[in-house]
Amino acid sequence: MFIRQPITRTTYEEWQAVWRETLAVNLVGPANVTWNAVRHMGPGGRIVNVSSRGAFRGEPDCPAYGASKAGLNALGQSLAVALAPLGIAVATVAPGFVETDMAEEHLRPPRGDEIRAQSPFGRVARPEEIAAAVLYLASPEAEWASGAILDLNGASYLRS
């Protein structure tokens, strides 16, 4: 959920509503799904969350989105430690822009050209590229990646 809400141009009521809805979808929803899934998982179980580069670089016009994704990262790392004794691994992917229906309006010129220029590859991710990373993290070979947050943004944002 990505709703623009610049703090200086948003009423308090709108601010509260966007925060409630965004946290419910991006953080509480995955937490609830995980709670339910863990009851059916055993050793070898895998949980892969989908975060965003916005969790690291900030989202000045959508602070609830950035904060919700940062919270999802922390949830994943907390659960990686909590669930490891059960043989369940938890990892997170943090994509930048991806060619999806949701991003379509942002990827139209001229803004789309600016977004593509953020990566030295001059493009945004294809859905298949993100899916390949999720598939790996869900595989038996990825147990040691538990707790990891994998940046998938074509070097458009580098964190240290």
Residue with token string 């919270």: 71
* Pairing mode, strands 89-95 and 149-152: parallel
Peptide bond just before 110 cis, omega within 30 deg: yes
| 14 in Cβ contact with 32 (< 8 Å) | no
Q: Is 6 helix (H, G, I), strand (E, B) or coil?
A: coil
Q: Give the separation between CA 59 and CA 62, rounded to whole angstroms.
A: 5
Task: At 113, list the tokens.
Answer: 């050209």
| 29 in Cβ contact with 71 (< 8 Å) | no
* Pairing mode, strands 46-50 and 149-152: unpaired
65 catalytic? Reply is yes
Residues that are catalytic: 65
